[in-house]
Every structure is written in structure tokens, then in C-alpha cells.
A and B are shown apart, each in its own frame.
Chain A
Amino acid sequence: MRFAYSLGGMTDVKILFGDIIAEEAVKGTFLVSKGGKLVSPFEYAYFWRLTPKACALRREGSQKVDILFDNGRWFFGAIYAHELSKRCPNGDEYLIAAIVQHGTHVLNEEGDYLAFIPGYPRITFHYDSFLVAFHQEGPTPRVRVYDLHGRFLSEGELWDAITEAMERV
């Protein structure tokens, strides 16, 4: 299930990962539990699948989103979350962006921090090796290039900056 609102008036159970479930509460919100034990203090209005190993859950009555990973870890209190991109050097592996105050955390599917990028730019992968953050303005795309640990490598026009980053690496 990619995107699900809760259905008011009935009890509904969605399996998020393994024994982690979202169980519908009486008022149409979801509570998340693992093996019968609540694992989040919040109630959720809806949730959606970010990647095969991560879900985003929108808190009821709050403009916050929490991220749940299939290993049971959480990232609490994002403003929004989205899949960043898929990298495929050794099979499918996804990165996730958690939008917070002042910028964007880049996380892997285990819930580990990889990088923090100021602001809310479009962030992509290039060559499955670089994080590329696009400046918003200008007649042509300018970017800042980081490695996957968040280390800044280069800045400039898109392809020039990528070439420079490749040379540095």
C-alpha cells in the first residue's frame, strides 16, 4: 500500500513491516505498535510508503511527519519526508530526505544520517556517487555537489560541477 488514509468507524490493521502494525483507533486515527506494544506516542492521520524499508506517517492534528524504518527505528518530527532517489551500485538501495527546520537530512534506509543539506533544494544522485543540490534561481541550473557523507565537493554549473567533483574524488 503506497498511500492510505485511515477509515473512520471501523477497526483496521495495516502491517507496516513484519510485526510492526498500524492499528486503527476508534476516532479514525492510527496507532503504531510492535508485538502488541506501542512504539510511538503519537496518533497518525495517514501514512505512505517512502521506500520498501521506510514509511512516513502524518501526525493527527499536527503538521509533523514521523519516519518509521523496518528495523524499528524512528525519525520523529520532520516537516515532510520523501524518497530521495534510488542508488543501485549493489542492488536497490534508497535514500530518504527528512525535511526539518533550516534544511534537509539525508538518511539511508537503516535510519542512519548521511548528510545535512541547508535549505530545501532538489537533491539528486549522479553516477550513484554524488548528492547534487540544485540552486533554485538563475537562467541555467547551478548546483552544489557533495559526496554521500555530506562532504562538499564542488559548486558551479551542473555538468561542470559534477566533472570537478569526479576529479576531486
Chain B
Amino acid sequence: MRFAYLSDDMAHLVRLFDDIYLEGTGKGTAIPYRGEKVISPYEYHYFWRLSPKSCALKRYGQGMVDIVFRSGHMFFGAYCVHEIGGIWREDESGYLIAIMLRYGTLVMDDSMNVRCFIPGYPRIAIIEDMFLVAYLHHKTVPRVRVYDLAGEFLAEGELWDAIDKARSKIRGY
């Protein structure tokens, strides 16, 4: 299930991961549990799947979103969160997510490892399964900042020039 409101006429259970589930309160909100233990002090209005190992939960009555990971850990207090994309390399695979906080965007994988913090709220994309690219300015052509997947800054400039520069840097010439 990708996106779900919680119905207000029943106290139903929605399984998020293994033993982690949302239990409806009967008033259109839900509380997350792991086993029999409540794992968040908040009530949630709806949720959506971010990646195979993480879900976003929109707090009821607040402009805040929390994240629950398959491991049972929570990340509290983002303005919004979104999936950046998947990585399918031989040496690395998984999903990256973006967490919007004050002043910028935290990039994290869905095992909760922080990759980098990018100022502002730009569009962030994975290009060629190798680079994190943040689009910078609203000008006539896209300018970007390029990072590797560990969050190391590599290059800045017009889109393809910056990617070529980043590729050269990784190859060491």
C-alpha cells in the first residue's frame, strides 16, 4: 500500500513491517506499535511508503512527518520526506530518502545511515547510480551540485559539465 488514509469508523490494524503496525484509534487516526509496545507519542492521520524499508507518517493536526524504519527506529520531526530513488550497483544497492528539516534536506539511506545534508530544498536525484545531484538555481539552464553517494562534494556547474567533472574526479584524472 503506497498511500493510505486511516478510516475513522473502525479500529483496524495496518501492518507496516513484520511486527510493526498501525492501530486505528477509531477517530481517523492511528498509533504505531512494535509488538505490543507503542513506538511514538504521536497520533497519525495517514501514511505512505517511502521505500521497502521505511514509511512516512503524517502527524494528526500538525504539519510534521515522522519516519518509521523496518528496524523499528523512528525519525521524528521532519517537515516532509520523500524517496530520492534506488541504487542498483554491484557494490551497493538500496534506497535513499530525503528528509526536509529547518534550512535544508538530510539525505539518508533506508537503513538510517546519514549520507549528507544539502542546504535548502532542491530537487535531488541519483544519476547513473553514482552521483547525488542537487539542482541549484532557477535560471535558464539547470545548474547542479554533484556529490558521491557517501555525500562527498565533487563538482558544481551546468548539469552535464558538472557530472563529467565529478566522473573525472572519481576516476582520478
Is A122 in contact with B141, judged by CB distance below 8 angstroms? no
Q: Is there a chain A Cβ closer than 8 Å to B34's Cβ?
A: no
Residues of chain A within 8 A of B142, CB atoms compared: 79-80, 99, 120
Residues of chain A within 8 A of B102, CB atoms compared: 139-140
Report the separation of the CA atoms of residues A121 and B122 in the bound assembly, to the nearest whole angstrom: 6
Residues of chain A within 8 A of B141, CB atoms compared: 79, 101
Q: Is there a chain B Cβ closer than 8 Å to A164's Cβ?
A: no
Chain B residue at smallest Cβ distance from A89: B3
Interface residues, chain A, CB within 8 Å of chain B?
Answer: 2-3, 63, 79-80, 82, 86, 88, 99, 101-102, 118-124, 127-128, 134-141, 157-160
Contact status of A136 and B120, CB under 8 A, knowing A3-B129, A80-B142: yes
Is A121 in contact with B160, judged by CB distance below 8 angstroms? no
Chain A residue at smallest Cβ distance from B138: A119
Nearest Cβ distance between residue A19 and chain B, in whole angstroms? 27
Q: Which of B18-77 touch A at CB < 8 Å?
A: 63
Would you call the interface of chain A mostly helix, strand, loop, or mixed?
Answer: loop
Contact status of A160 and B63, CB under 8 A, knowing A3-B128, A141-B100: yes
Is B88 in contact with A2, judged by CB distance below 8 angstroms? yes
Most buried by B among A63, A124, A157: A63
Report the separation of the CA atoms of residues A128 and B124 in the bound assembly, to the nearest whole angstrom: 21
Contact status of A134 and B140, CB under 8 A, knowing A86-B2, A140-B102, A158-B63: no
Nearest Cβ distance between residue B57 and chain A, in whole angstroms? 14
Q: Is there a chain A Cβ closer than 8 Å to B79's Cβ?
A: yes
Interface residues, chain B, CB within 8 Å of chain A?
Answer: 2-3, 63, 79-80, 82, 88, 100, 102-103, 120-125, 128-129, 135-142, 159-160
Give the total number of A-B pairs whose CB atoms are below 8 A apart: 70
If A82-B125, A122-B123, A158-B63 are given as contacts, then 14 extra A-B residue pairs at C-beta distance below 8 Å, sorted by A number, are A3-B88, A3-B128, A79-B160, A80-B142, A86-B2, A119-B138, A119-B139, A121-B138, A122-B124, A123-B123, A124-B82, A139-B102, A141-B121, A157-B63
Is A122 in contact with B121, judged by CB distance below 8 angstroms? yes
Contact status of A88 and B63, CB under 8 A, knowing A80-B159, A119-B138, A120-B138: no
Chain A residue at smallest Cβ distance from B126: A82
Nearest Cβ distance between residue A51 and chain B, in whole angstroms? 13
Residues of chain B within 8 A of A82, CB atoms compared: 125
Contact status of A139 and B103, CB under 8 A, knowing A63-B160, A160-B63: yes
Is B2 in contact with A118, judged by CB distance below 8 angstroms? no
